[in-house]
Amino acid sequence: MPNDAFSLLLSQHMRRIRASASGVATEIGLSRESVNNWRNGSSLPSPKSRDRLHACARYLRLTETETNQFFAAAGLEPEFPLQGDGAGDGETPFAAFIEQLFMQLAQSTPYPITLLLSQAHWGQPPFRHELLARARAQYGAGATLHIQPPYSVSANSGEYFAAIGRQCGFDNVASDYEFEAAMEQRLGAGERVFCLVSRFEQGTPALREALAGILRSLSEMYSGRLHLLLCGGEALADLKYRSGDLSLLNIARVAHWPDADADDLRILAGQRWPAHGLAPGAVAALANLCGGHPALFEEGMQWLSERGATLPDALPDLRVHLANSARLWQTFLPLTATPASRERLRELLHAPDLGRARPYLQDDELRRLFWGNLVHVRGQGDEARLHWRCDTIRDAGLAVLA
């Protein structure tokens, strides 16, 4: 039974971090009774509670692969489509980007710190198994750390740094001072350490600032020895460009997770749907229809696989199907709350382009569309402009307004 699969997964993940039903309920904004109903199999999350299920996954510290399994058990579409689990052999998608990312990090002086920002439906970071494998190859397995700050806003400083300490293999860490001392001991011995920080923006501002302060201090004390890759999305970009109070982020280089090219999509399609081979021309046609949007590409491949359909014959029907994607509607609907916002969205949908691309978009609607992965950047430097990813996404926006 799907209910049994979901309730078993939820119970398993709650036990792993010793979370209570009341703790989960408080963090995700539901009643304890609702969480207990999920846990005992009496009910499943509805599509309308998708955001709360995502918050639950983050609170339980699930990886992207675990989150997808969690959503599938609830009968919902995956939150991170095309996300690999690192178990397969053969070609690696985004291999050139990952290689360049680590080369630039190693060459950064005096502070080898990079912010890796990704839009919706990619992980934070995407393909973390591949990133960690590349880090182990460059720095060594023992010198590669992976930190995922606790999601809970009710965690105190001791609990927060104890969790981070355990992730780094430090025993008996119970405070920010003890975590800093443990890191300092490693770096002071002359060791070069790489640290991947997933979802850096999680937790309370005070705890996040404390972690940032420690990492900045260690970077200054042991120049060139602590290599940091901080991963996140819109919230992390806000911390860098709007808050301006975390000096660690002010000195960091920024990298954006790229759109998948034809080779990346060919590799991903072959790994996920090996029995439904697509010719290179068909992959390109689907990529163009989806505009490189990972969730739309996944939905398109799934639709083709289930129907045994082929491209280009199925393109008209597939476009109609994708324009009705729940993921697109969930991003568009909040932008139609008032008559003024509806009119603004209508203007944007009919615009030939959406303006100049900048490091930080101050326009609220454009920023929401960008991080929702509905628009992207074309061109470089002074020629960089914002555009809708594809006409399929425009179709969805116009249907929402109809």
pLDDT at 1: 44
- 8 A C-beta contact, residue 126 and residue 83: yes
DSSP 257-270: PPPP-HHHHHHHHH
- 8 A C-beta contact, residue 181 and residue 190: no
pLDDT at 84: 56
Highest mean pLDDT among 83-87, 159-163, 265-269: 159-163
In angstroms, rounded to a whole number, what is the distance separating the alpha carbons of residues 120 and 114?
19
The percentage of residues in the chain with a pLDDT greater than 90, rounded to a whole number, is 55
pLDDT at 83: 65
Range in 154-158, 236-240, 277-281, 380-384 with the lowest mean pLDDT: 277-281
pLDDT at 109: 86
Higher pLDDT among residues 242 and 88, named by residue: 242
pLDDT at 275: 75
Structure tokens at 134: 């590349």
Interior/surface letters 97-136, b for 16+ CB within 10 angstroms, e for the rest: bbeebbeebeebeebbbbbbbbbbbbbbbbbbbbbbbbbe
Range in 12-26, 95-109, 242-256, 315-329 with the lowest mean pLDDT: 242-256
Other residues' Cβ atoms within 10 Å of the Cβ of residue 380: 8
The H or E element that residue 376 is part of is strand 375-378
Say if residue 365 is exposed, middle or buried (CB neighbours under 10 Å; 0-12, 13-18, 19+).
middle
pTM, to two decimals: 0.84
In tens, the pLDDT along 283-315 reads: 889 999 999 899 999 999 989 988 888 888 999
CA angle 294, 384, 375 (to 5 degrees): 30
pLDDT band at 351 (very low <50, low <70, confident <90, very high): very high
